[in-house]
């Protein structure tokens, strides 16, 4: 029944139908659960820009949507992370929700060109970060379980959701690559994530401490092993990676060095950009004295996908957009 209700091939041509309303209610419940948790824990909601310089990019600037912003090279943002970080010295705990744009050419069950991203940044360390992620996800699931009648109507196994409890299981990247048979330094693919989460009981799974070269330039190096960063991905059953998170490098000189030597800035220079795109952020770090802080991005659609129990990301949002669909 779920597959029938959430058929998406022609969804962009349909309005006012039952399946759209069901997904909208589930998305709304999940977002309310996150918002309630943030309010309870003292986070301030911040509105950040969605047209940015390259400071709105995640690790891969190849998936940025470029645009001419009154004669200046601009982009549709993928993350509000750096803007949230700039508010930490005064607000301490901040969060936002907004669209994340990815120029993904693949139109399949794994890719969307726009999705909702929930982000937090706060003054604190890696262990606190893990607890905030657990708390947020559990609050989202608890809120959506209030729609139990609706979930059962579309065939969702609510008992599976009731088993989502903190603390979540944790393994290191070192352990993960040994299990799946990858060389150290390789990035985990969705098939590897699926294998790992199944091995660990089909419950949310943290994979921690990834190699520095495959992660964002401002993820903080581990004090004992500088080749890794204090980072984590949260893997959910069915949907895969739903959260990317890390401690942030807060020392200006180290941060600038990491940025200047990153693969991202090398690609940006080819496009005519460079360190100037990030100068406002570097100035904020230097002048405002940001302390050790941490943060994450939670893909709302990946959490929705997990709740619905569907293997197709296109069925996790009311109006799915990919390279073959535009409203």
Q: Is residue 279 part of a domain?
A: yes
Q: Where are the alpha helices (DSSP H) in the chain?
A: 2-5, 18-40, 81-86, 88-91, 126-144, 148-153, 158-162, 173-180, 190-199, 252-260, 263-270, 279-288, 300-308
Residue 327 lies in a domain: no
Task: Print the domain residue range for 190.
Answer: 2-316
State the Cα–Cα distance between residues 236 and 302, nearest whole angstrom: 8
Q: What is the pLDDT of residue 14?
A: 53
* pLDDT on residue 289: 82
Spatial distance between the Cα atoms of 320 and 92, rounded to a whole number of angstroms? 34
15 Cβ partners below 8 Å, 6+ apart? none
User: Residue-wise pLDDT tens for the chain (327 aa)?
Assistant: 555 544 544 554 555 577 788 999 999 999 999 999 999 999 999 999 999 999 999 877 899 999 999 999 999 999 999 999 999 999 999 999 999 999 999 888 989 999 999 999 999 999 999 999 999 999 999 999 999 999 998 899 999 999 999 999 999 999 999 999 999 999 999 999 999 999 999 999 999 999 999 999 999 999 999 999 999 999 999 999 999 999 999 999 999 999 999 999 999 999 889 999 999 999 999 998 889 999 999 999 999 999 999 999 999 999 899 998 887
**121 DSSP β-pair partners:** 94, 295
CATH of the domain at 79: 3.30.930.10
Q: Decide: 246 and 220 in contact? Cβ < 8 Å.
A: yes
Residue 167: cis peptide before it, omega within 30 degrees of 0: yes
Supply the pLDDT for residue 60: 79
Q: Give domain status of residue 153, yes or no.
A: yes
In a domain, 173, yes or no: yes
Q: What pLDDT is attached to residue 13?
A: 52
Tell me the torsion sign for CA atoms 80, 164, 123, 241. negative
Are 188 and 180 in contact, with CB atoms under 8 Å apart? Answer: yes
What is residue 257's predicted lDDT score, i.e. its pLDDT?
95
**Domain total in the chain:** 1
Tell whether 171 is covered by a domain: yes
φ/ψ (deg, to 5) at 134: -55, -45
Residue 325 lies in a domain: no
Q: Is residue 244 part of a domain?
A: yes
What is 58-104 written as a DSSP string?
Answer: -S-GGG-EEEEETTEEEEE-S--HHHHHHTHHHHSEEEEEEEEE---
CA-based nearest residue to 77, from 59, 60, 52: 52
In a domain, 183, yes or no: yes
Residue 316: its pLDDT value, please? 92
pLDDT of residue 50: 96
Distance between CA atoms of residues 284 and 306, nearest Å: 37
């Amino acid at each position: 029944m779920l597959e029938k209700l959430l058929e998406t091939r022609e969804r962009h041509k349909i309005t006012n139908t039952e399946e759209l309303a069901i997904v909208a209610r589930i998305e709304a419940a999940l977002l309310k659960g996150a918002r309630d948790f943030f309010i309870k824990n003292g986070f301030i909601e911040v509105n950040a820009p969605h047209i940015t310089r390259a400071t709105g990019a995640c690790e891969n600037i190849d998936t940025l949507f470029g645009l001419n912003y009154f004669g200046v090279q601009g982009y549709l943002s993928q993350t509000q992370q750096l803007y949230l970080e700039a508010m930490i010295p005064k607000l301490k705990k901040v969060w936002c929700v907004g669209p994340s744009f990815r120029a993904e050419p693949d139109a399949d069950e794994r890719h969307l060109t726009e999705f909702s991203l929930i982000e937090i940044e706060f003054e604190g360390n890696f262990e606190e970060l893990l607890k905030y992620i657990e708390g947020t996800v559990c609050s989202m699931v608890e809120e959506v379980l209030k729609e139990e009648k609706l979930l059962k109507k579309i065939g969702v196994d609510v008992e599976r959701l009731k088993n989502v409890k903190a603390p979540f299981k944790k393994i290191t990247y070192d352990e993960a690559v040994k299990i799946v048979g990858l060389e150290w330094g390789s990035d985990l693919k969705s098939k590897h994530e699926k294998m790992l989460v199944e091995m660990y009981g089909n419950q949310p799974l943290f994979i921690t401490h990834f190699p520095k070269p495959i992660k964002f330039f401002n993820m903080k190096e581990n004090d004992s092993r500088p080749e890794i960063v204090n980072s984590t991905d949260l893997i959910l059953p069915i949907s895969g990676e739903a959260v990317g998170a890390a401690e942030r490098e807060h020392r200006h000189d180290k941060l600038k060095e990491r940025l200047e030597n990153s693969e991202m800035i090398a690609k940006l220079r080819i496009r005519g950009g460079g360190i100037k795109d990030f100068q406002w952020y570097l100035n904020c770090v230097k002048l405002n004295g940001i302390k050790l802080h941490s943060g994450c991005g939670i893909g709302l659609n990946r959490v929705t996908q997990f709740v619905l129990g569907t293997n197709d990301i296109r069925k996790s949002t009311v109006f799915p957009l990919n390279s073959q669909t535009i409203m």
